[in-house]
Chain A
């Protein structure tokens, strides 16, 4: 089992709709969870971090964490063509806060 799993996509969503991206992780002691966006040919850019169960909102983005189910998700409201990118879920593993492992990413395409 991979430590961090994501559906590779592509996920196609119409402009203005909600895009929902999901991620599961295997390490029960993980405490830090991140979503990064990566455009083709660019480096990952941090969108959201979440540390506690529940929802965290930042503009059009909402991260949701459920530690009991070992599940973290990212919702993008009012999707724009500029949101088309690969979204990477990242989780710390083990007791170390500083070893952060990435999922393989979900490719999101927003169609006009």
Chain B
């Protein structure tokens, strides 16, 4: 099976702009979680989607939003970008059978100038 894919891999934006990141889960996986990773804060949970519904949410401002489509692909949007939003954004997919393991994509490196 193909792994989790994320696009784009690298992105440079300026403060105040908005950005949309995309994640395609492993085929057959219906759960997609998003994380932000920075050197100072580590891996922080943003939100999780399952069957097009947000099932869990972390402690991030409303500028961070997401959605999931019927084919399980997910997008994450960050509006009004701030310098502190510079980070590696990771998505992880999980299957519905067996254990609760998550598998990560390669990430999108976002730089806000």
Give the size of the chain B interface in residues (CB under 8 angstroms). Answer: 23
Q: A49-B99, A98-B48, A101-B45 are in contact. Are A44 and B90 (CB under 8 A)?
A: yes
Interface residues of B in 21-60 (CB under 8 A from A): 31, 33, 35, 42-45, 48, 50, 55-56
List the B side residues contacting A92 at CB < 8 Å.
100
Shortest beta-carbon distance, B102 to chain A, in Å? 6
Instruction: A96 to B90: give the CA distance in the assembly, Å.
Output: 20
Instruction: A96 to B6: give the CA distance in the assembly, Å.
Output: 25
- Say yes or no: A43 contacts B107, CB within 8 Å: yes
Give the size of the chain A interface in residues (CB under 8 angstroms). Answer: 23
List the A side residues contacting B88 at CB < 8 Å.
43
- Say yes or no: B90 contacts A98, CB within 8 Å: no
- Say yes or no: A45 contacts B33, CB within 8 Å: no
List the B side residues contacting A104 at CB < 8 Å.
42
- Interface residue B103 (Cβ < 8 Å from any Cβ of A): yes
Binary contact track A72-112/B, C-beta < 8 Å → 1, others 0: 00000000000000001010100011111111110000000
List the B side residues contacting A34 at CB < 8 Å.
101-102
Tell me the nearest residue of chain B to A50, going by C-beta. Answer: B99
Instruction: A65 to B74: give the CA distance in the assembly, Å.
Output: 33
Interface residues of B in 61-113 (CB under 8 A from A): 88, 90, 94, 99-107
List the B side residues contacting A32 at CB < 8 Å.
99-100
- Say yes or no: A98 contacts B94, CB within 8 Å: yes
- Say yes or no: A98 contacts B56, CB within 8 Å: yes
Q: Which of A43, A88, A102, A105 touches B105 (beta carbons < 8 Å)?
A: A43
Q: A44-B43, A44-B90, A104-B42 are in contact. Are A97 and B100 (CB under 8 A)?
A: yes
Q: A44-B43, A98-B31, A102-B42 are in contact. Are A49 and B101 (CB under 8 A)?
A: yes
7 A-B pairs within 8 Å (CB atoms) are namely A43-B106, A46-B101, A96-B56, A98-B55, A99-B56, A100-B33, A102-B43
List A residues at the B interface (Cβ < 8 Å): 32, 34, 36, 42-46, 49, 51, 88, 90, 92, 96-105
List B residues at the A interface (Cβ < 8 Å): 31, 33, 35, 42-45, 48, 50, 55-56, 88, 90, 94, 99-107
